[in-house]
Amino acid sequence: MNLAALLPRSARLWPDAPAIAVGSRTRSSYRELADRVASLAGGLCDPLGLEAGDRVAVFAGNCPDYLELLLAAWHAGLVAVPVNAKLHPKELAHILEDSGARVVFTGPGLATSVAGSTRVIEIGSAEHTRLLDASGGGPAAVSPDDPAWLFYTSGTTGRPKGAVLTHANLLFMILAYFADVEPVAPGCSILHAAPMSHGSGLYALPHLAAGSLNVIPESGGFEADEVLREIGRQPRPSMFAAPTMVTRLMDAPGVGDADLSSLGTLIYGGAPMYVTDCLRAIDCFGPHLFNLYGQGESPMTITGLPASEHAARDPDRLASCGVARTGVELRVVDERDRELPAGEPGEIVTRSACVMRGYWKMPEASAEALRGGWLHTGDVGALDGDGFLTLRDRSKDLIISGGSNIYPREVEEVLLRDPRVAECSVVGRPHADWGEEIVAFVVPAAGAAPGTEELDALCLEHIARFKRPRAYRFVDALPSNSYGKVLKTELRRLAAAEPDTGSAPSAPAEPRHPGDAP
């Protein structure tokens, strides 16, 4: 049941098929990749001395070694902890401490971000290369319910929680991809322009299982013109993208001259896409789109809107996120977990073999999220009479900007570190490119008011760049109800309707990735 066994199977079936490429340069065939992974797995066990169940973190941008390290960890019976390379060092430190990672592999220049006692090995270093000299055996024996991937996702408190994804969870995800998204075979490819620490890395797995080519852009990330070039020269390329990436592709100067004739499937998710943008995408890319709704707790696999529904161009259907995926149960329930009739909004709950085992070392949070045997997503939506799900809202205060989840409390706690901030509340407002951007309402302390530049610097000191507010509103008081609870609905209305009274300095225009939204 070890996921890593999928690789030697592919190597036996398609030994000479290209497995990983950087741009147009093939890095390894399936035979070569299987040999490297087996040797690296041996190196993780000896000389590093890791034992079954130990955690191995990867803190790097997209590169061929990312896939090798994930596969080697599973091959050795270890647990992979992929970490977004854009996270702040303090966020990384929490994940490493919480997961208890024995070693972290970092990309070039990222080793200095690691604090604490975790052993650090830079990818491409002599120490990393020596691990490939070890003797390799077969994949370790694991139970289907053993952890494979700790997927760190923000919780309602803003503290990252590790969703425990098992070997069985990820195998189900792979099979659901084949059943719902697209068939894959040698001669197909997937382009990894989105972070491999999240959706793109997860979707490498069905392609590895089917002998397809995994292509990493030369830039290592998302550059619209580069992606369009790769779509034109790779074999039947598919790609996972946040909606903002899709709109940037459509708006790229070279899109009119791009060769899109061999495009496989453009899979988008992580945030809603406006119907007008969806119609534009259909016109631009043809009927090759698949909209998925999922969470880290049920990776990539709750509902889906297939290419056929995009081709029909029904605005109501395009506003939805499709129907329950193959093998997935879906309900909309009230506050007492009673199923609601069609058209009535409530909390979305799901049950399938893809749902996480629970949160890492958080039994109470696990019991709450999985009560009654269903994953409670915290998202609000409604099912129509045909079973199509439309998201009415997201978890209560969640902001999704460029496909990245941002919980307001995490930002608010940083702003409140400034003694000149008496109160604050953070909300999202619509943004044409990023879906939402962050607005902070700040009540200054008596006789003092911080500058926006100072607040911006404070945020950049403690949290990732993409989580800082893009605008500040200085107010005398925050609106609240009779119980003293801040009315964020009213703040969202004000953020969308009123002009700024203060704005944060603009970030450099380097939108390589949705997490870097300016």
pLDDT digits (tens, 9 = 90+) for 264-305: 999 999 877 878 889 999 999 998 999 999 999 999 999 999
CA separation for the pair 463, 263 (Å, rounded): 37
Q: Give CA separation, 269 vs 58, 199, 321, in Å.
A: 23, 9, 9
100: left (phi over 0), alpha (psi -120 to 50) or beta: left
CA separation for the pair 373, 369 (Å, rounded): 9
* Fold of domain 3-383: Rossmann fold (3.40.50)
The interaxial angle of helices 167-176 and 199-209, nearest 10 deg, is 70
pLDDT digits (tens, 9 = 90+) for 152-188: 986 434 578 999 999 999 999 999 999 999 999 999 9
pTM for the complete prediction?
0.84
H-helix or E-strand spanning residue 187: none
Average predicted confidence (pLDDT) for the chain: 91
pLDDT in 10s for each residue of the chain, 518 residues: 899 999 999 999 999 999 999 999 999 999 999 999 999 999 999 999 999 999 999 999 999 999 999 999 999 999 999 999 988 898 899 999 999 999 999 999 999 999 888 999 999 999 999 999 999 899 999 999 999 999 998 643 457 899 999 999 999 999 999 999 999 999 999 999 999 999 999 999 999 999 999 999 999 999 999 999 999 999 999 999 988 899 889 999 999 999 999 999 999 998 778 788 899 999 999 989 999 999 999 999 999 999 999 999 999 999 999 999 999 999 999 999 999 999 998 899 999 999 999 999 999 999 999 999 999 998 888 999 999 999 875 666 778 888 887 878 789 889 988 999 988 999 999 998 888 999 999 999 887 889 999 999 999 999 999 999 999 999 999 997 544 568 888 999 999 886 554 543 333 333 333 445 33
The domain locations on the chain are 3-383, 399-516
Which CATH superfamily hosts domain 399-516?
ANL, C-terminal domain (3.30.300.30)
CA dihedral sign, ordered 498, 503, 506, 511: negative
CA separation for the pair 340, 461 (Å, rounded): 45
Fold match between domain 3-383 and domain 399-516 = no
Cα angle 444, 467, 417; round to 5: 35
pLDDT digits (tens, 9 = 90+) for 413-443: 899 889 999 889 999 999 988 889 999 999 9
Say which amino acid occupies 29: S
Cα 505 to its chain centre, rounded Å, is 27
3-state secondary structure 68-131: HHHHHHHHCCCEEEEECCCCCHHHHHHHHHHHCCCEEEECCCCHHHCCCCCEEEECCCHHHHHH
- Token pair belonging to 92: 């990384």
Q: Phi/psi at 403 (nearest 5 deg)?
A: 85, -5
